[in-house]
Amino acid sequence: MNLGCGQAVESMSMPSSSVSCKSGDGVSDQFPVGLRVLLVDDDPTCLLILEKMLRNCLYEVTKCNRAEIALSLLRENRNGFDIVISDVHMPDMDGFKLLEYVGLEMDLPVIMMSADDGKNVVMKGITHGACDYLIKPVRIEALRNIWQHVVRKKRHEWKDAEQVGSVEDGERQQKLAEDADYSSSANESNWRNSKRRRDEEEDAEERDDTCTMKKPRVVWSVELHQQFVAAVNQLGIDKAVPKKILEMMSVPGLTRENVASHLQKYRLYLRRLSGVSQHQGGLNNSFMGPPEATFGSMSSFNGLDLQALAATGQLPAQSLATLQAAAYGRSTSKSAIPMPLVDQRNLFSFETPKLRCGEGQQQQPNNNNSKQLNLLHGIPTNMEPKQLVSLHQSAQSFGGMNMQVNTHGSQSNSLLSRTQMLNETSDGHVSRLQSSTGQPIMSTGCAIGVLAQNNNARGPLYIPVSIASSTPDFSVNNDTDLSGSSFPLGSNAGMSTFSSKGVLQEEFNSETKGSRGSLLSYDILNELHQQKSHVWGSQNVGLTYDASQHANIRGSLDVSPSVLVQQGFSSFQNVGQNRNAVSKAVFSARQESGHGNAPNFSRQLNTFLVDSSPSVKAERLPDSSYQNILFPEQFSQEDLMSVLLKQQQEGTGLVESEFGFDGHPLDNLPV
């Protein structure tokens, strides 16, 4: 036996007759005999010992002492090995790097080993995709079972292959849908399909994350995504084509297809930020993962969006702060930026939804869990029109709604258009909303987003309307979400309270209580999520808060946030009746907000209506303490007004009684 085996690669192959060949399923009756192992370690002593051990296990061992040699061996003979065992500390290349390469290029299971048993190192191995980590000195018993990793990997690959096909189809469909610029129903169905598939895909991805990467999927790690973004920025987003990006990134093993699909998602995300209306469905899903996860994502998105907005200068820094504050339900501090803006990368990290939302949320422990909470993250309490827009956006992102924050142009218009867009996108949900309310509620867009989130209708949509002008009942906050940010966060759980019921949970304690702030946009959101509850009218949601509905706005107007804001809430009163009311309220709220006063969402809704000024001014909101005003003020004022007025006529009284606030006649609302 050569002792000086370090330099050359030694390959001692067992006589083929005694080795079972790998059949299609990789397992033969002699398996794991003959398992082809590539051993990489710069320490000659260890190399020799391990080789002997592996031979004793009847494996076929090839050893080398340099990572580069190992890689070239692997590349020359892609199917020549079943598993790779590599040391962590090597002079020519870090073991983790080798791990990444192998995972990307060959997708073989890789076992790391080291004398270093520190938790960090082991963790690093896991995050880089090693399927196992052995501590030296390695015993033969540890090596006997390595074949399990080969089998496991093969099984995953088979499963993946099945899913990938469907996912790719879904992606294709989605692309078409997007190009078509949402023709609504068509899009929606596509979107649904792709959403479903993406969910599966992502689930599968997550599942496999702990093991080595499965092909064909590439794990877009933080570093990888950063490289990607850098390349894209260098090329210019318009000129960034997958091929060039791939070249610039020069990551071995990354294919043009990987980059292309990632680029598509990235573009959608950017479009969302810039307020371009598009069919959001797909995007949401792709970035958000399953609805539940979206909440978390939402917050992260919120942060991101807000940040992005701020970054683009469209969102004044302060607005951003306030938005964030609102999101968190902070009532006051305008300057506080409660939520650290989530790193953009989170968006693209499909690894876990948690990643996405976790980072963005500051102290929101239950990002993932409580859908509601996430909604309003980052929504400032004082919402300026712009802020509302942003909130809108965040709300949207939350649910994966593609609510574009329309930061361009007049906000109201944009809001309106956005909501309209949402309407369209929601496949008619919005329109439903509209029809019920007669207003383009969703024009604010955010409502939609938020509402969409609110899949569960049961959660009452909290429309942070601080109807409760004087009555504390409205302290929606109490219940929850409404405090602070009244952004219609549609939560899947029905939480879509604008104010983030979910989001602010911490602040408000939200959840569930009933006052879920489901935002007006529930409808849309719901629709989007294929939920039954509709925002406005949806029984569950909308105005109902929690089941107790209607009339109880205990303070939290489940009505879509903006609605609540408006005085129109009084019209809410008939919660039971309406959706319209709610929506109107929302609208009015929106309009108010459009006035430019960032509503201080943190306020309790109660006070909201108190003000005399009719329109639910955004500013009022703060005063009125309706926490959740979530709607961006972009409503078309006319729309809102009409809604409100209608509501008002319908029966303002109810609201008052129910919510305990002085009904503010809609008359006040500026027309």
Binding site for other proteins (CB under 8 A): 1, 3, 42-46, 48-49, 52-53, 56, 87, 89, 91, 114-116, 136-140
Shortest CB 41 distance to other proteins, Å: 9
Nearer to other proteins, 116 or 200 (CB): 116
**d(Cα 407, Cα 323) in Å, to the nearest integer?**
14
Distances, alpha carbon 124 to alpha carbons 108, 112, 118, 127, 224, in Å:
18, 10, 10, 5, 16
> Per the structure block, which two tokens stand in for 29?
């009756």
* Nearer Cβ to other proteins (42/656): 42
Q: Which is nearer to other proteins, 3 or 21 (CB)?
A: 3
Biggest CA–CA distance in the chain, Å, is 97
Cβ atoms of 556 and 479 within 8 Å: the answer is yes
* Burial state string for 584-594 with b = 16 or more CB within 10 A and e = fewer than 16: bbbbbbbbbbb
Q: 636 CB contacts (<8 Å, ≥6 apart)? A: 412, 413, 415, 416, 440, 443, 591
Q: How far is the CB of 140 from other proteins (least distance, A)?
A: 6
Decide whether 120 or 250 has the Cβ nearer to other proteins. 120
Residue 574 is given by DSSP the state G
Nearer to other proteins, 39 or 598 (CB): 39
Sign, CA torsion 561/563/566/570: negative
Least distance CB 3 / other proteins (angstroms): 5
Provide the minimum distance between the beta carbon of 1 and other proteins in the complex, in angstroms, as a whole number: 6
Task: Give which of 69, 56, 58 is closest to 15, Cα–Cα.
Answer: 58
- Nearest 5°: phi and psi at 540? -70, -45
Q: CA nearest 143: which of 11, 51, 48?
A: 51
- The rounded distance, in Å, linking the Cα atoms of 110 and 115 is 17
Q: Which is nearer to other proteins, 40 or 298 (CB)?
A: 40
Spatial distance between the Cα atoms of 342 and 451, rounded to a whole number of angstroms: 22
Nearest to 378 by CA among 332, 429, 321: 321
| Nearest residue (CB) to other proteins, 55 versus 408 | 55
CB of 122 to other proteins, least distance (A): 15
Dihedral sign from CA coordinates of 511, 516, 519, 524 = positive
Q: How far is the CB of 61 from other proteins (least distance, A)?
A: 13
The span from the CA of 66 to the CA of 8, in Å, is 9
CB of 49 to other proteins, least distance (A): 5
- What percent of the chain is helix, strand and coil (3-state, nearest 5)? 50, 5, 45
Q: How far apart are CA 93 and CA 83, in angstroms?
A: 19
Q: How far is the CB of 71 from other proteins (least distance, A)?
A: 21
Place of tokens 């469907």: 166
Q: How far apart are CA 488 and CA 153, in angstroms?
A: 43
Q: Which CB sits closer to other proteins, 60 or 201?
A: 60
Taking the least distance from each CB to other proteins, the nearer of 2 and 250 is: 2
Question: Measured from the CB of residue 55, what is the shortest distance to other proteins in angstroms?
Answer: 9
Helices 385-399, 579-594: crossing angle, 10 deg rounding: 130
**379: nearest Cα among 460, 314, 298:** 298
Rounded least distance, CB 87 to other proteins, Å: 8
Q: Which is nearer to other proteins, 136 or 244 (CB)?
A: 136
Least separation, in Å, of the C-beta of 116 and other proteins? 7
**Closest distance to other proteins from the beta carbon of 20 (Å):** 21
Nearer to other proteins, 138 or 524 (CB): 138
Among residues 91 and 236, whose Cβ is nearest to other proteins? 91
